[in-house]
Amino acid sequence: GDSVTQMEGPVTLSEEAFLTINCTYTATGYPSLFWYVQYPGEGLQLLLKATKADDKGSNKGFEATYRKETTSFHLEKGSVQVSDSAVYFCALSWYGGSQGNLIFGKGTKLSVKP
Amino acid sequence: DTGVSQDPRHKITKRGQNVTFRCDPISEHNRLYWYRQTLGQGPEFLTYFQNEAQLEKSRLLSDRFSAERPKGSFSTLEIQRTEQGDSAMYLCASSPGTSGRADEQYFGPGTRLTVT
């Protein structure tokens, strides 16, 4: 079945460091891909998405490019801040058919130190 | 847009008791989803509704679980004869269903269930 695999955390970085969180997926076809973020004590929030190959999603300085050749959707940010400390979830969905639910990875916890 | 709300935020119950959770989606959203999240894991899909119709149920949703969405507005998730393995965070999400952002799901804060 469809699945999402994320790099294991926790990831600890100093402020202004470069961030990469790896995400790969297994699916037959080309699903939509998402990154969600969960800040401490808050609910899941959509961070960015890409709906077709080579699309780049971006938001709040974060970017991810839909790579069908490597079935990947890695999350990047050039300079992290303490306020980026959160758990990041990669997910896929097949909206448009009878389904539409998200399939999530296990999440990667990011801690940014001042 | 007041966001997705869930009630209660926390529930502690004894094994064998029944519990019911409520979700109020964003008002114009016609799709509503339930997920379960355990510690250290990503959310897992349970079921979803298009308006009042329940269109999909995961095999995670045993016979002890039932969900409703009367009139296509709020939804309830009931767990009968709770077991310790039911302890988790139960998340609700909604999506517009019929717009350019139809695939974007907006999550509520969750209901944390502890079965003792």
Express each pLDDT in B40-88 by its tens digit: 899 999 999 999 999 888 888 889 999 999 988 999 999 999 999 999 9
Mean per-residue pLDDT, B19-35: 94
What's residue B99's pLDDT? 66
Mean pLDDT value across residues A106-110: 96
CA distance B72 to B89: 23
Contact by Cβ (8 Å): B48, A101: yes
Are A88 and A31 in contact by the 8 Å Cβ rule? The answer is no
Rounded alpha-carbon distances, angstroms, from residue B64 to A73, A78, A98, B80: 37, 47, 24, 5
pLDDT of residue A97: 54
Q: Cα(A22)–Cα(B32) distance, rounded to whole angstroms? A: 29
The pLDDT assigned to A41 comes to 84
Chain B hits for A89, Cβ within 8 Å:
42-43
Confidence of residue A99 (pLDDT cuts 50, 70, 90): low
* Cβ-contact A100, B31 below 8 angstroms: yes
**pLDDT value at residue A86:** 97
Chain position carrying tokens 């114009």? B28
Task: Output A100 or A76, whichever has higher pLDDT.
Answer: A76
Indicate if the pLDDT at residue A98 is higher than 60: no
Residue pair A80/A17 in contact (Cβ under 8 Å)? The answer is yes
Average pLDDT over residues B91-103: 82
More confident residue, B10 or B1: B10
Q: Which residue has the higher pLDDT, A55 or B60?
A: A55
Residues 6+ apart with CB under 8 A from B100: none
Chain mean pLDDT for chain A: 93
According to the model, what pLDDT value does residue B103 have? 83
Considering only alpha carbons, which residue of chain A is nearest residue B102? A95
Partner-chain contact A43 B110, CB within 8 Å:
yes
A44 burial class (0-12, 13-18, 19+ CB within 10 angstroms)? buried
- Identify the H or E element spanning A108: strand A108-113
Half-sphere exposure of A2 (CA within 13 A, CB side): 20
**Contact between A32 and B107 using a beta-carbon 8 Å cutoff:** no
Averaged pLDDT, B93-101: 79
Mean pLDDT in residue range A75-88: 97
DSSP type of residue B104? -
HSE, side-chain direction, 13 A CA sphere, residue A111: 5
Indicate yes or no: CB of A43 within 8 angstroms of CB of B91. Answer: yes
Residue B24 pLDDT greater than 60, yes or no: yes
